[in-house]
Structure 1
Amino acid sequence: MHHHVIVIGGGAAGLYATAGLARLGVDVAVISEQENMGGDCLHYGCVPSKTLLHMAQETKQWPKIRQKIQDTIADIQPNDSVPRFESLGAHVYIGKAKFLNSHTIQVANQQLTAKKFIIATGSRPKIPEVSGLDDSMYETNETIFQLTELPKKMAIIGAGPVGLELGQAFQNIGVAITLFDHNQYFLKRYHRDIAAIALEKLGLDIHLNSRLSQVRRLNEQEIELKIEESGQEKTYIVEKILFATGQIANIDTLQLENTGVLFDKKIRTNAHLQTTESHIYAIGDVINSPSLTHAGGAEARVALTNIAFGNFTKIQYETLASVIYTKPEIYQLASKQEAARVLSANGATIDRFKTDDEPEALVRVGINKQAKIIHAEAIGTDISTVMQQIALLKATNSKLTDLSKAIYPYPTKSEILKKTIRSTIIRKTRETTHSKNTSSNHKMEAIIMKVFWREWRGIILFVAFVLTGFLVIYKLGIVDSFNVAEVSEVVRDMGIWGKILYVIIYILRPLVLFPATPLTLFGGYTFGAVQGTILDVIGAGTGAILAFWIARQLGKEKIERLIQGKKLEKFDHKIGENGFLVVLYLRLIPLFPFDSINYSMGLSSIRMRDYAAATYLGIIPGAFTLNFLGSSLGRLDWQFYTAISLYAFLIILPWIVKKLRNS
């Protein structure tokens, strides 16, 4: 059986990709080891753990909690069921998949082939090698929810998100919990202030710099643990061990060695999420990325988009936040970039946190010099709901101070963000006031002129260059004495040098904003439709890249200040990850001003290579049409009317596309 795309893995990421491709009308199949699809998130992770956290606040009766977990899973299961995905148009196969070669896989007794693959087989709990350990002594997140009776004492190995969430939940329903973590610092990837508050408020017995070295069963109920703790061996007695020591990618049974896919513990991918076999993509826990359900969803979106429309989208994690859903919650929006300034506010200054007796709640937001978001961390009850506003600001390239435009209900926890904004505004006001009070008028004028020249010299020089070009053309009388036929004959007589001169003029044309259409018609008139088109694409495309580069060098923020408001930010947001398609569309339609696109795209966040590729490709139809028209100038024959018809078709093409889409 052959399919266009085969998705291997019936977990959250794999199902997201399958549903997206099916809705786009792609012939897609999904392979799941289990008939109850949904993977780790539905059966062992997000859903059961969050249900446990909720129920642990309501009751201490484990049978009731366990039943609620099973009911919640059963309630969500239809969304991830075989019938639903078959109703979407996807083919579903149940069984283990293994590659026979880079285009063929085997599932049970069936061989399937596909043009493209997505590997999304997820991960399983990692169990460390410990002397004396056997299966009866420990649980993982895959087995803990199946227990009919809970132990009285339980050791959790690993104080990461899983260990902390399950540890606090089970402690709330009466299990004595002790956590052991090999790291020297608690929550080592978080700011020390956040980690210190968490260590105090989570209410858990956490032992750092500790390693489990040996276990021994004492009797039917009790297990003895030998822990190397800060260089000393200590003994603990528990009834169960819960391992929360990380995950192992489920790739060992795929027989990837039969393909060209490179892997070690995880699969190697590029920014398009392609493996070293370009037609095989990988997403979720099998690649080196954050092991989060929403990260897998974002990766699935990128992979299916690249498969359906071509590789123009790259995975980006800049706005990917993580949350530890304990009480209090711990939020992080991480970044490798350094912030110019970190703003903070605590619950002691916010009335709603006071009413909830949570003065220790803390928010930290890192911003750059323009007050745009770099990173953020926070701790507090339900703080993730508050902090996702920060992720939205970063996603839209907005400033922290933009939050001050909203009127917040009183009292809400979101006011803690207004507190950080207030400190920014006060600081700027004080700096301005201090500058005014300590500078003489003469010194202030000098400073203003220096800043003005530094910020605006690029624009001033560019405008001067354009005006000088127009003045030279006027003084030389070029416009008055210009004869198209004579100039065309001179250029043709120059041979190859005439063509090179034409291309150079076209490259430099955007600098003086000379209209592109007359020059294109001249090219067709002089060199003919085919040669004129080739020279036009080379010159116009390269000139467009030059204008793009100039706009980018002048700087987005300088132009923003020139036109004021949010116009560029809204424009940049609309381009988003689809820059290639946006530019291609604009280039195909001759109604859009050529140079306006050049300079405006330079102010956006589109990658230059995407802009260049879309420009060179998109200008071909228009360039050929105008050169075809130019080659027919001077005679009203079939070629002239055909060229006019082609040009008219390009103009009404958006209306045709819109009608087709609506129908």
Structure 2
Amino acid sequence: MSGTAVARGAWWRPAAFGLVIVLVVAAVIALGRHRLTLAGLEAHAAALGAAVAQHRVAAFALYFAVYVVATAISLPGAVVLTLAAGALFGVVAGSILVSFAASIGASLAFLSARFLLRDAALARFPGLFARIERGIARDGALYLISLRLVPAVPFVAINLLAGLTSLPLRRFYWASQIGMLPATLIFVNAGASLATLGPHQAILTPRLIMGLLLLAALPVAAPLLRNALAARQRYAGWRRPRRFDRNLVVIGAGSAGLVTAYVASALKASVTLIEQAAMGGDCLNTGCVPSKALLHAARGGMDYSQARAAVRAAIAAIAPHDSVARYQSLGVDVRRGHATIETPWSVSVDGETLTTRAIVIATGAAPLVPNLPGLADCPFATSETLWDIEALPARLVVLGGGPIGCEMAQAFARLGSTVTLVELADRLLGREDDDVSAAMAAALRRDGVAVLTGHRAVAVHRDDAGFSLEALHGDAPVMLRFDRILVALGRVPRTAGFGLEALGIALTPAKTIETDAWLQTILPNVFACGDVAGPYQFTHVAGFQAGFAALNGLFAPFWRFRPDYRAVPAVTYTSPEIARVGLNQRAAREAGIAFETTRYAFSELDRAIAEGDTEGFVTVLTKPGSDRILGATIVGTQAGEMLTGFTIAMQHKLGLKKLLGVIYPYPTRSEAIRAVAGQWRQRHASARGLAVLAWFHARRRG
């Protein structure tokens, strides 16, 4: 019954909103007839000036009311009213009038939007407003002030959009009052200047020129002023040292931290690198290097003992590149221990405090371990502890069908384990296209992996016969016996234990450190990069971001450098390899981006035919009617190596026509790049142009 009452009573809000729209349109028509323009007011300037001089208080009050109503119902002509206020009441009185009347009118518009539109907007765009609310919660007033300072941002739009958020009215009012004041003073001053001009005076007086210059400077000054106010507010409570021990302190010696320290030292900065575990981070010790070495060993027919030796050898061979000795030789002060950020300018390492102008957090991520009943009491492994398994498991269950799960399932199957891969979704590699997922599943099954998609892990059990994983396939229970279980369900950023909470550094819903486009946290001298910052958890992206974090940490606010993610490659190193850059069909459809698809199969490639390895394909997405590359996916041998051609093309905005004009060595797999570009070119050839060519050649034959 209450639901019915609400439904019956909800009609009046859209009706009220419609009535407001009708009133605004009627007012605009009426004002258009009375010419509420600068020229129209100029024609009546003498009469208006005389009326104001005779009844100044009454005129002030009336004009104030008109201004409030005009802004409250979002009528056009606010600039004309502001100029007229300066002309009629002078700079001081006109500025007071406009400043308070505009803020009051804006607040009324703010309340109207909240009352009439907020519920509908939240229901229609919940994700958008969730992001806006997080920004408002962090620095809503400062953000609003910066918008008010930029005259190009529509006054009406700010009022209405702010009303749809949870920003308190009081904060909105004072932010509007402060933010609109500079533009108000400039426009009122311009109006007062125009009013004093005689018929033969120059229009561009020094006073008016100065006002126009200030108006032009506002869009540039607004962000600087906002950042200064935000920094002052966020640094409150901490005392900034007069001198610093270091230019940069980097926390974490994985890929992101190592590159940050390397770049900073190359630029002759004083930098300290802090790591509490092994140098090289996860990539060297438990991630990229050992997993690729294991895959190579399994592909080469080694047994498990030989494969483990190959993994250790690979780590040992690469470790000197990331060692303490090497970085000390580069001039980096390397500290082994636990780092805690005490203030925005100081970091302690096991009791010793270092002061620094900037801090870069590069603490990486750790494997996600689910709260699965019985898991803690069984011999489970993650991507970090997998390398401690001394004997090959006879029966291995892999939990998770992402890149890590697929790679390790294939490696252990080829080494001799009986492998079962369990995935909750209905397919593997959930970010890839359906045909890519299908190719991955087929490859794993050929290697003997039992691929169970659509299975939800429920619990781990132990009995006299050993361990088993209970899973549900729909409503049907499935029991999977195992000797080891590998948890490969993703990774979570390492953000705890470094002092972020005390500094008020915020996290995103994905639990990464919240940064801006320049990798700055809410504290302008504290940066984050790599897996702990996201949005990608790739070693190559961590290293890419690290260079920008180092440059921004050393040179901001004088120079800032923004990473460009237009071409981020990703590779799954199974056989066949799966490589992708940019959009695939699934991502393009989800984003509502139109695309054309060109596909080339390796069964047509000479090198693949010669080697008897024709599995796979190349798929390229382009903008409709254009050769602009939106993304490329490659499935096949050496797909990761081939992907670089498309990555370079996307990064430098080169289309398929440019790739078609490159000379590729024969016979190589890279010729597939030219082949797919040729297929696109042939499909987009002009029928009329071909007909003209046929006519031309026929005439030349006589």
Same fold by TM-score greater than 0.5:
yes
Q: Distance in 2 between matches of 1:260 and 1:188?
A: 34
> Which SS does the other structure have where 1:92 is aligned?
strand
State the AA in 1 paired with 2:573: Y
1:119 equivalent in alignment to 2:361: yes
Q: What displacement does 1:135 show?
A: 5.1
8 Å CA contact 1:60–1:174 kept in 2: the answer is no
Name 2:647's counterpart in structure 1: 391
> Which SS does the other structure have where 1:112 is aligned?
strand
8 Å CA contact 1:194–1:362 kept in 2: the answer is no
Matching residue within 454, 478, 488 for 1:234: 478
Superimposed CA distance per residue, residues 210-249 of structure 1 (whole angstroms, 9 cap, x where no aligned partner): 2211111224x73111001233211111111000011121
Matching residue within 16, 21, 24 for 2:267: 24
1:404 equivalent in alignment to 2:668: no
8 Å CA contact 2:517–2:563 kept in 1: the answer is yes
Q: What displacement does 1:433 show?
A: 3.7
> Which SS does the other structure have where 1:66 is aligned?
helix
Superimposed CA distance per residue, residues 423-444 of structure 1 (whole angstroms, 9 cap, x where no aligned partner): 2222233433478699xxxxxx
1:295 equivalent in alignment to 2:541: yes
Q: Distance in 2 between matches of 1:22 and 1:358?
A: 46
Pairs within 5 Å for 1:140-155: 140-155=382-397
Name 1:327's counterpart in structure 2: 575
Name 2:453's counterpart in structure 1: 208
> Which SS does the other structure have where 2:375 is aligned?
coil
Task: Decide which moves more: 236-245 or 93-102.
Answer: 93-102
Q: What displacement does 1:136 show?
A: 4.3
8 Å CA contact 2:444–2:451 kept in 1: the answer is no
Pairs within 5 Å for 1:141-180: 141-180=383-422
8 Å CA contact 1:197–1:360 kept in 2: the answer is no
1:55 equivalent in alignment to 2:297: yes
Q: Distance in 2 between matches of 1:246 and 1:357?
A: 35
Superimposed CA distance per residue, residues 12-58 of structure 1 (whole angstroms, 9 cap, x where no aligned partner): 11011001101100111011012x30000000001000100111122
Distance 1:358 1:105, change over 3 A: same
> Which SS does the other structure have where 1:343 is aligned?
strand
Pairs within 5 Å for 1:72-221: 72-134=314-376, 136-203=378-445, 204-219=449-464
Superimposed CA distance per residue, residues 516-553 of structure 1 (whole angstroms, 9 cap, x where no aligned partner): xxxxxxxxxxxxxxxxxxxxxxxxxxxxxxxxxxxxxx
8 Å CA contact 1:151–1:240 kept in 2: the answer is yes
Pairs within 5 Å for 1:322-401: 322-335=570-583, 338=593, 340-368=595-623, 369-401=625-657
Distance 1:131 1:14, change over 3 A: same
> Which SS does the other structure have where 1:163 is aligned?
helix
8 Å CA contact 1:353–1:361 kept in 2: the answer is no
> Which SS does the other structure have where 1:429 is aligned?
coil
Matching residue within 498, 501, 526 for 1:254: 498
State the AA in 2 paired with 1:62: Y
> Which SS does the other structure have where 2:460 is aligned?
strand
8 Å CA contact 2:455–2:471 kept in 1: the answer is yes
State the AA in 1 paired with 2:471: I
Name 2:287's counterpart in structure 1: 45
TM-score, length-normalised on structure 1?
0.63
> Which SS does the other structure have where 2:600 is aligned?
strand
State the AA in 2 paired with 1:426: Q
8 Å CA contact 1:329–1:380 kept in 2: the answer is yes
Q: Distance in 1 between matches of 2:482 and 2:595?
A: 48
Q: Distance in 1 between matches of 2:427 and 2:300?
A: 32
1:314 equivalent in alignment to 2:562: yes
Q: Distance in 2 between matches of 1:432 and 1:158?
A: 53
Q: Distance in 2 between matches of 1:426 and 1:410?
A: 21
Q: What displacement does 1:187 show?
A: 2.1
State the AA in 2 paired with 1:328: P
Q: What displacement does 1:294 show?
A: 0.2
State the AA in 2 paired with 1:417: I
8 Å CA contact 1:59–1:65 kept in 2: the answer is no
Q: Distance in 2 between matches of 1:73 and 1:215?
A: 33
8 Å CA contact 2:443–2:576 kept in 1: the answer is yes
8 Å CA contact 2:618–2:632 kept in 1: the answer is yes
Q: What displacement does 1:358 show?
A: 3.5
| Shift >4 Å, 4+ stretches | 434-438
Name 1:639's counterpart in structure 2: none
Name 1:274's counterpart in structure 2: 520
> Which SS does the other structure have where 1:56 is aligned?
helix
8 Å CA contact 2:360–2:553 kept in 1: the answer is no
Q: Distance in 1 between matches of 2:601 and 2:420?
A: 29
Superimposed CA distance per residue, residues 64-115 of structure 1 (whole angstroms, 9 cap, x where no aligned partner): 2111211211111111111111111111111111222222222112112211
> Percent sequence identity over matched residues?
30
Distance 1:247 1:53, change over 3 A: same
Distance 1:434 1:405, change over 3 A: closer
Name 2:246's counterpart in structure 1: 3
Q: Distance in 1 between matches of 2:538 and 2:594?
A: 25
State the AA in 2 paired with 1:209: G
> Which SS does the other structure have where 1:224 is aligned?
strand
Q: Distance in 2 between matches of 1:232 and 1:431?
A: 57
> Which SS does the other structure have where 1:216 is aligned?
strand
Superimposed CA distance per residue, residues 368-410 of structure 1 (whole angstroms, 9 cap, x where no aligned partner): 2331211011100111212211111111211212222233333
> Which SS does the other structure have where 1:202 is aligned?
helix
Output the aligned Cα RMSD: 2.1
8 Å CA contact 1:60–1:172 kept in 2: the answer is no
Superimposed CA distance per residue, residues 335-356 of structure 1 (whole angstroms, 9 cap, x where no aligned partner): 3663542111001221222233
Pairs within 5 Å for 1:421-440: 421-433=677-689
Name 1:285's counterpart in structure 2: 531
8 Å CA contact 1:339–1:375 kept in 2: the answer is no
Q: What displacement does 1:158 show?
A: 0.6
State the AA in 2 paired with 1:237: R
Structure 2 unaligned blocks of 5 or more = 1-243, 695-702
Name 2:84's counterpart in structure 1: none
Q: Distance in 2 between matches of 1:4 and 1:28?
A: 6
8 Å CA contact 2:248–2:554 kept in 1: the answer is no
State the AA in 2 paired with 1:354: I
Superimposed CA distance per residue, residues 162-182 of structure 1 (whole angstroms, 9 cap, x where no aligned partner): 111111011101011111111
8 Å CA contact 2:358–2:554 kept in 1: the answer is no
State the AA in 1 paired with 2:299: Q
> Which SS does the other structure have where 1:207 is aligned?
strand
Pairs within 5 Å for 1:547-562: none
8 Å CA contact 2:423–2:454 kept in 1: the answer is yes
